Every structure is written in C-alpha cells, then in structure tokens.
Structure 1
Amino acid sequence: MTEQESELPTILFVCSMNSVRSPIAAALARKHFPGRLVARSAGVRSGKVDHFVHQVMEEVGIDMSVHTPHTMDELVASNFDIIVTLADDAKKAVADRGLEAAVMEHWSPADPSEMEGSRDVVLGAYRELRDTMDIKLRTALEPMLARAGKSA
C-alpha cells in the first residue's frame, strides 16, 4: 500500500533546509506514534546532512543515517492532516505553495546550527532542540490529531 492509499493520519514538518528541525520532529513523531501516523519532513530549499543531528538522535535511540534532506519540490502530496512549520520562511513557503491541512501550526524553535562556540556548546543546543521538540510533540500531537478529526 502506498502512502497516498494509507488510512493513517499524515503530518508534514517543514523547516528551512530539512537538515535539523523538521527531520528531528518527524523522527520523534514516528517514535511516539509508531505505526499510527505517517510523518514526513521537507525544507524550503536544499540542505545537507547534519552530523550533530545524527549524534543527538542516536543518544535517544533514533537512527538518522537513513535521512536525506528533501525540498518541498519533492513532495507528492499537497494535502495533509497536519502541517507544522518550524521556520518563518517555511510558513511563507507552505502558504505560497498552497499546501493544505486540517490543522496548521507554526512553531518557532531556535536553529541550533546557528549556534557558535565549542563542540560541547553546539551539541548542547542540538540536545535542547531535541528535548524541547520531544516534549512539545508528546503533549501537542494527540490534540492536533483530534482537531484534524483523526486519532493515532
């Protein structure tokens, strides 16, 4: 069965380059709702694999080695149950592209890739994003699915 034929709720996370915020969010959503939703991520423009993401997600048992950054141009679907934008340019791009969802939310997490300092300082920023996203998804996703008329 293809994703388009699936009865599972669909959620799309969009950030600037699909290398940090949106892939972390999608991976955490899949972790908390295994087999109960289809979580995808995309970027406004093309990004590169971020090895700090691999490291901090590995710490919580999530293998990100299969993730390759994708742009919104690569999306097959234009309608989702939930769309969460994670950067201001993503919010604008979703509107400009005409993507639709029963529930649309904009979250504004800091981009840890902009952090300057030692490796430990930068890793700390990535861990903070991961942990903040983890809490947010565990508390917000179920109510968002209910608002979309879906249950996971």
Structure 2
Amino acid sequence: MKILILCTGNSCRSQMAHGFLQSFDDKQEVYSAGTQASGKLNQKAVEVMKEIGIDISHHTSDSIDMYLNDVWDYVITVCGGANESCPTFTGKVKNRLHIGFDDPSDAKGTEEYIHSEFIRVRDEIQKAFLDFYNTKIKEHE
C-alpha cells in the first residue's frame, strides 16, 4: 500500500500522521508532502511524538511536486488548505480522503497551553489514522 499524506506546510500534522501510519505497519510505503512545504519540521510536533515513542525527527518536509507523477493507493489531506489544493494533484490516485485537524502551530498562549494543543491534535491524529488503518488497510491485506 502506497500512501501520501498532504498538508500545507508539511511540518506538523502530515508529519505526525506519517509517523503514526508507519508505526502501525512498517510494510506500508508512507510519504508526506506539502502544497507549500516549509522545508523543516515543527519541533513541537517532533517533541510530542517522541513523548509516545515515535521518532519523526528524520522526516523531511517535501514539496508535493516531488510526488505528482507517482501512483498512489491513497492520498489523504489533513488540513483545509491542502484539501482545497488537492484537485490540482495530477498523480494517479486510487482513493482520495480528507481527514482534517486543527493546526496546533496556530495555538497562542502559555507554553503549557501550546504543548497541550499539540498533544490534543496528536491524539486526534492517532485515533483517526488508527481507524483508517484498521478499516481501509488492514482489512484489505
């Protein structure tokens, strides 16, 4: 199964989803990219993933352009901006899904509050992508 996860910046939500899918089953080919890739990972996303034992620090923030000509079983958008841009994706895609999440990078307030927002979104991503994995991937193996 070859899966591409899209977000706008490819620094946070798509990276967490990428990390979770690979942790569920390392035989999956999972990639993530951004419609306007930032070129770097959000360090708070790396931190909250590490807290639960998933290391995404080696991931790269890549432009969607790298993947336009590939064949995909699933292309999944995780934020509104990427979902709106998704129709411009010209790759060969068997299934398109949108599973949206708030951007914890937008959180304002104390360090504790910001950290709690990253944890909240991380946990929502984990739940949604575990459900996706169990219903769309695992049952079709």
Per the normalisation by structure 2, the TM-score is 0.90
- Counterpart position of 2:43: 51
- Counterpart position of 1:119: 111
Match of 1:64 among 56, 65, 71: 56
Identity across matched positions, percent: 23
Q: Does 1:87 align with 2:84?
A: no
Deviation at 1:73, TM superposition (A): 1.3
Deviation at 1:79, TM superposition (A): 2.2
Deviation at 1:140, TM superposition (A): 1.8
**Contact (CA 8 Å) 1:23, 1:41: kept in 2 or not?**
yes
Give the total of aligned pairs: 140
- Counterpart position of 2:30: 39
Counterpart Cα distance in 2 of 1:137 and 1:57: 14
> Which segments of 5 or more consecutive residues in structure 2 lack a partner in the other structure?
none
Residues 10-58 of structure 1: per-residue CA shift (max 9 Å, x gap): 11100010000101001100001122x1111000112132110111011
- Counterpart position of 1:100: 92
Counterpart Cα distance in 1 of 2:138 and 2:112: 39
Counterpart Cα distance in 2 of 1:65 and 1:96: 29
Structure 2 counterpart of 1:115, one-letter code: A
Q: Which moved more, 1:94-103 or 1:12-21?
A: 94-103
> Which segments of 5 or more consecutive residues in structure 1 lack a partner in the other structure?
1-8
**Contact (CA 8 Å) 1:14, 1:42: kept in 2 or not?**
yes
Counterpart Cα distance in 2 of 1:63 and 1:138: 17
Secondary structure of 2:3's counterpart equals: strand
Counterpart Cα distance in 2 of 1:27 and 1:146: 17
C-alpha root-mean-square deviation of aligned residues, in Å? 1.7
Counterpart Cα distance in 1 of 2:83 and 2:91: 10
- Counterpart position of 1:4: none
Q: Residues 26 and 77 from structure 1, CA distance in 2 versus in 1: closer, same or farther, beyond 3 angstroms? A: farther
Structure 2 counterpart of 1:39, one-letter code: V
Secondary structure of 1:60's counterpart equals: coil
